């Protein structure tokens, strides 16, 4: 499975239920990576989408402890075991974990590739992604040139789990 996230220099990913910053090229990369694939995320992440609706042209799997949650055009699962069972129907390389913080933490052990947009700024935040730079099981295997959006510098990094 893959992880995909935009993080600041402290590995923060959100504040008060929102992304830290919106960078058009990051959204474009996210769309290119996940279109016609499987996206896995939590209920709070769903609530950040337009009209709180699942993403189009993707298989949406929502991990939630809320047993009564029902979402049109999405599969709702209630445990890691149930999620992993649902994911067996798809190629592992086609599955992308897209947030939020608790879903990233729970699924990190099952993932072997992370697509990270690293933003060179420290935002005020209340949600973080696990710091892969400090995890000896992960290494950077690809990186882009540094890019700029207004005064925000960022780059795309690919981390892979060392087998």
CA 38 vs CA 5, 22, 118, 148, 153: distances in Å: 15, 22, 23, 29, 29
Q: pTM of the predicted model, to two decimals?
A: 0.96
- Tens digits of residue pLDDT in 4-54: 999 999 999 999 999 999 999 999 999 999 999 999 999 999 999 999 999
Query: Is 83:77 a contact under the CB 8 Å cutoff?
Result: yes
| Three-class SS state of 73 | coil
Q: What is the pLDDT of residue 59?
A: 98
Q: In what order do the strands lie in the sheet with 18-19?
A: 18-19, 12-15, 127-128
Q: What is the pLDDT of residue 68?
A: 96
Position 69 pLDDT exceeds 80:
yes
- The domains of the chain, with CATH numbers, are 2-161 (3.40.430.10)
The rounded distance, in Å, linking the Cα atoms of 101 and 41 is: 10
């Amino acid at each position: 499975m893959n992880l995909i996230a935009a993080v600041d220099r402290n590995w923060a990913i959100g504040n008060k239920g929102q992304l830290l910053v919106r960078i058009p090229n990051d959204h474009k990369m996210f769309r290119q990576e996940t279109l016609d694939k499987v996206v896995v995320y939590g209920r709070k992440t769903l609530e950040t989408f337009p009209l709180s609706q699942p993403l189009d042209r993707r298989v949406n799997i929502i991990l939630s402890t809320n047993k009564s949650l029902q979402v049109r055009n999405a599969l709702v699962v209630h445990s890691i075991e149930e999620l992993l069972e649902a994911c067996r129907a798809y190629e592992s390389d086609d599955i992308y974990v897209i947030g939020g913080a608790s879903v990233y933490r729970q699924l990190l052990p099952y993932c072997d590739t992370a697509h990270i947009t690293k933003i060179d700024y420290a935002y005020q935040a209340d949600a973080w992604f696990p710091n892969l730079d400090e995890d000896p099981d992960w290494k950077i295997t690809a990186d882009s040139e540094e890019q700029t959006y207004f005064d925000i510098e960022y780059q795309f990094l690919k981390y892979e789990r060392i087998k």
